[in-house]
């Protein structure tokens, strides 16, 4: 069994309001991130930890560097190897070189010569493909032709079952009732998601696709492949202040033929799917 701990949308930053209400409990981000790491170290003991991005609120270059470093100082206390995905807030004021420098040594260094922060690696009998989704403010979310070509070639070359990691969602989520994205699917879902799923379907070797960004837990199965959205760690489950944090994270357990997804925190869920991949 190979076990993955996941966390997303930690949003280290100053307290901000949206539509006049406190919906991101950013003030609690450091202690919630610390609690996540402690749970991983003491209870779950995963083989790998995945940070799905949006570690900060974008405020300005100096503030973002400080917040991003602070977030990764907490994550670095994890006993397991931790790999990272770039989120849209992370790259507003920070460059790819900034992110790689803070992440330190790891498989992402192989992406230094490419325009996208995509990379792949293998652990525990699985191939991991990490994609960088690009968000243009209130316009759309794209992967881009070059990255889709890289992704298709990477899947074609993979000899192990594939786990895909990305920040935005490539499923067809019904966003009705979502506080952040109802009526705004263009900034929640990848524009080329149909092409993405065509590539996944043609490759036939993808076990699971994991993402964050949408700030709720969501589970889809498309062509036999589960698409899982992990809720934001700091999402306020109440309408306004003082608030109640989701404290969300996920644990994915992979065996030869079975995938089990446990969504932890204040809103828990458990999914299990058997696979031919």
Domain locations along the chain:
2-274
| pLDDT, average across residues 10-17 | 90
Q: Residue 110: its pLDDT value, please?
A: 86
Predicted confidence band at 112 (pLDDT cuts at 50, 70, 90)? confident
Q: Residue 65: its pLDDT value, please?
A: 98
How far, in Å, are 128, 196, 230 from residue 209 at the CA level? 10, 11, 11
Mean pLDDT, the chain, whole residue set: 95
Quick check: helix, strand or coil at residue 276? coil
pLDDT for residue 76 is more than 90 = yes
| pLDDT, average across residues 155-171 | 98
The CA distance from 170 to 64, in Å, is: 27
**Which positions ≥6 away from 231 have C-beta within 8 Å?**
8, 9, 215, 216, 217, 246, 248, 263, 265, 267
CATH architecture under which domain 2-274 falls: 4-Layer Sandwich (3.60)
Per-residue pLDDT reduced to its tens digit, 16-66: 788 888 989 999 999 999 999 999 999 999 999 999 999 999 999 999 999
Nearest to 7 by CA among 43, 26, 35: 35
Q: Residue 139: its pLDDT value, please?
A: 83
Q: Residue 246: its pLDDT value, please?
A: 96
pLDDT for residue 81 is more than 90 = yes
Predicted confidence band at 277 (pLDDT cuts at 50, 70, 90)? confident
pTM of the model: 0.96
pLDDT for residue 137 is more than 80 = no
Q: Residue 241: its pLDDT value, please?
A: 87
């Amino acid at each position: 069994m190979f076990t993955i701990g996941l966390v997303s949308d930690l949003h280290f930053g100053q307290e901000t309001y949206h539509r006049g209400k406190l919906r991101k409990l950013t003030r609690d981000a450091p202690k919630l991130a610390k609690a996540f790491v402690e749970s991983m170290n003491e209870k779950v003991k995963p083989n790998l930890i995945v940070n799905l991005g949006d570690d900060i609120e974008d405020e300005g270059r100096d503030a973002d560097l400080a917040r991003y470093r602070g977030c990764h100082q907490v994550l670095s206390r994890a006993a397991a190897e931790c790999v990272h995905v770039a989120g849209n807030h992370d790259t507003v004021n920070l460059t790819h070189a900034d992110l790689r420098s803070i992440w330190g040594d790891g498989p992402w260094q192989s992406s230094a010569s490419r325009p996208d922060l995509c990379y792949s690696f293998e652990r525990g009998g699985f191939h991991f493909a990490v994609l960088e989704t690009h968000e243009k403010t209130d316009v759309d979310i794209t992967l881009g032709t070059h990255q889709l070509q890289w992704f298709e070639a990477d899947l074609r070359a993979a000899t192990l079952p594939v786990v895909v990691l990305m920040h935005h969602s490539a499923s067809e989520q019904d966003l009705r009732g979502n506080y952040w994205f109802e009526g705004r699917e263009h900034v929640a879902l990848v524009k080329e998601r149909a092409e993405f799923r065509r590539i996944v379907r043609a490759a036939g070797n993808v076990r699971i696709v994991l993402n964050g960004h949408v700030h709720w837990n969501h589970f889809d199965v498309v062509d036999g492949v589960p698409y899982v959205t992990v809720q934001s760690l700091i999402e306020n489950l109440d309408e306004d202040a003082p608030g109640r944090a989701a404290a969300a994270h996920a644990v994915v357990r992979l065996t030869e033929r079975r995938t089990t997804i446990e969504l932890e925190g204040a809103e828990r869920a458990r999914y299990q799917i058997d696979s031919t991949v």
